[in-house]
A = this chain, B = another copy of it.
Amino acid sequence: MRKIFERPKSLAEAAQHYCPGCTHGIVHRLVAEAVDELGLAGRTIGVSPVGCSVFAYNYFNLDFVQAAHGRAPAVATGLKRVLPDRVVFTYQGDGDLASIGAAEIVHAAARGEKITVVFVNNAIYGMTGGQMAPTTLVGQKTTTSPYGRQQEVAGYPIRVAEMLSTMEGAAYIARVAVISPQSVARARKAMLKAFTAQLEGKGFSLVEVLSTCPTNWGMTPVEALKWVETAMMPVFPLGVFRDWEVGEA
């Protein structure tokens, strides 16, 4: 009898505090799998954001730094500049990365900073109780858009992958989802490729993952997966937006 699926070594045993069915957990596993597959565990440093994944450091068997809200790319830059032969990644939510941290992510990409960014886009502020995010869809109700996000007042969702793809420093940028076995498999490949870009010194890499927040969306975990597909994906199309191996995608 052969074990064909087990917890990746770099994923810690600790139980995670995420809500039932929240796909943060799947994304964690994909990161750990990439680190393991590339044999990077001993020389990888993670940077956790402020957001539901603030405690990510408890869930990986890796050195970890907790960064101020939005500043993970700057913190990662500091780490990487001191330790250029180490592997550095950030794990950030949409409020963290696309709202308060917009300048830091744009500049990390422009600098071609050799870090990998795992960007968990769940169209909402999870940790603080469901406020509007920059990726909240037009019409979506949140605790700070109680009448639904109105474009006249609050504008339109930011498409991070597309925006950062205008940067020459970006080696690899992809958007994936984790809503089905197939999409998880593709997300896994994207994660591997993003870390490979860093390992090969090609520049900045980012994987945007469409993720769920059943708690603040007010849905069951399974409904939430559907909503990603039917509501989010039309606004945030999946794909590879930049790939150093094939030129601007």
Chain A positions near chain B (C-beta within 8 angstroms)? 99-103, 106-107, 110-113, 134, 151-152, 154-159, 162-163, 165-169
Contacts and interface: CB of A to CB of B under 8 A. Distances in A.
Chain B CB count within 10 A is highest, among A99, A100, A158, A162, for A158
13 contacts: A99-B107, A100-B103, A102-B103, A107-B158, A110-B156, A111-B155, A111-B156, A112-B152, A155-B168, A155-B169, A156-B169, A162-B166, A165-B166
A155 B101 CA distance: 19
Contact of A155 (B103, B110, B154): B110
Tell me the interface secondary structure of chain A in the complex. Answer: loop
Contact of A159 (B155, B156, B166): B166
A100 B99 CA distance: 14
A163 B107 CA distance: 12
B106 A163 contact: yes
A218 B159 CA distance: 40
A100 B166 CA distance: 19
A106 B100 CA distance: 11
A162 B166 CA distance: 7
B169 A113 contact: no
A200 B113 CA distance: 41
Contacts of A107: 99, 102, 134, 155, 158
B163 A166 contact: yes
Contact of A151 (B112, B134, B159, B163): B112
Contacts of A111: 154-156
A111 B102 CA distance: 14
